[in-house]
C-alpha cells in the first residue's frame, strides 16, 4: 500500500508570529524575573516550580535565604517588609508574566492546513497549476484582478491579503 505524503495548503503566519512573540516574551520575562530575584536576595535558591506562583515562591525564597537567622520563623511576606526589600519591579514583571504564562513553544505545523487525501492533493495540484498559469499571464503584462479570479474560479482560489497573492482556498480543497 502506498503512503500519501501530506502537502501544506496554507499556513497562518500571522497567528504563528503572534505565538512566537508571546513565547519569546514569556522566556525573556523568566530570565528577567530570575535576575531580579537574585538581585533582591543574595542567597536565592530558585525552585523549578517558581513560575507557578511567583510572588508566594519569592516569599519562600526570602524565608529560605535567612532561615539561619530567622529563629522566630517569620513568614516571607513579613520578612520582605522587615528587610525593606523593594519588590515592586518583581511584582510588575510577575503581573506581565501571568498574561503569557500559558504560552507554549509554537510549532509551525499547528498553524498549517494540509492536503492529506489523494482527492485533496489533486485539488491542491490543480489550484497550483492555475496559479502558475495566472503568474505567466501576469508576466506577459496583463492585469489580473483578484476579485475577478475569485469569481471565475468559484471559490477554488482566494486572494491572500497578507502576502498579496492568489492562493488555493483551503476550504474548497478540504470539502
Task: Write the DSSP symbol of residue 36.
Answer: H
Whether 71 and 124 map to the same domain: the answer is no
**Distance in angstroms (rounded) separating the CA atoms of residues 175 and 173:** 6
Whether 123 and 91 map to the same domain: the answer is no
Whether 72 and 121 map to the same domain: the answer is no
* pLDDT band at residue 79 using 50, 70 and 90 as cut-offs: confident
Per-residue pLDDT of 110-147, as tens digits, reads: 999 999 999 999 999 999 999 999 999 999 998 888 88
Predicted local confidence at residue 115, as pLDDT: 92
Residues in the chain: 175
Evaluate whether residue 106 is within a structural domain.
Answer: no
* All three cell numbers of 159: 486572494
**Distance in angstroms (rounded) separating the CA atoms of residues 36 and 57:** 13
Predicted local confidence at residue 2, as pLDDT: 63
pTM value is 0.76
List Cα–Cα distances, 27 to 24, 31, 96, in angstroms. 5, 6, 12
Amino acid at each position: 500500500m502506498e503512503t500519501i505524503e501530506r502537502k501544506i495548503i496554507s499556513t497562518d503566519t500571522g497567528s504563528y508570529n503572534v505565538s512566537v512573540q508571546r513565547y519569546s516574551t514569556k522566556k525573556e520575562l523568566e530570565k528577567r524575573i530570575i535576575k531580579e530575584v537574585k538581585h533582591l536576595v543574595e542567597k536565592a535558591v530558585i525552585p523549578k516550580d517558581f513560575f507557578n506562583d511567583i510572588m508566594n515562591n519569592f516569599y519562600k525564597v526570602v524565608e529560605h535565604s535567612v532561615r539561619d537567622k530567622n529563629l522566630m520563623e517569620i513568614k516571607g511576606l513579613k520578612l520582605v517588609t522587615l528587610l525593606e526589600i523593594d519588590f515592586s519591579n518583581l511584582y510588575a514583571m510577575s503581573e506581565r508574566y501571568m498574561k503569557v504564562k500559558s504560552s507554549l513553544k509554537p510549532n509551525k505545523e499547528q498553524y498549517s492546513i494540509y492536503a492529506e487525501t489523494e482527492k485533496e492533493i489533486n485539488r491542491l495540484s490543480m489550484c497550483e497549476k492555475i496559479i502558475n498559469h495566472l503568474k505567466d499571464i501576469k508576466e506577459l503584462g496583463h492585469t489580473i484582478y483578484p476579485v475577478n479570479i475569485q469569481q471565475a474560479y468559484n471559490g477554488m482560489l482566494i486572494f491572500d491579503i497578507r502576502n498579496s497573492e492568489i492562493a488555493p482556498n483551503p476550504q474548497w480543497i478540504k470539502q
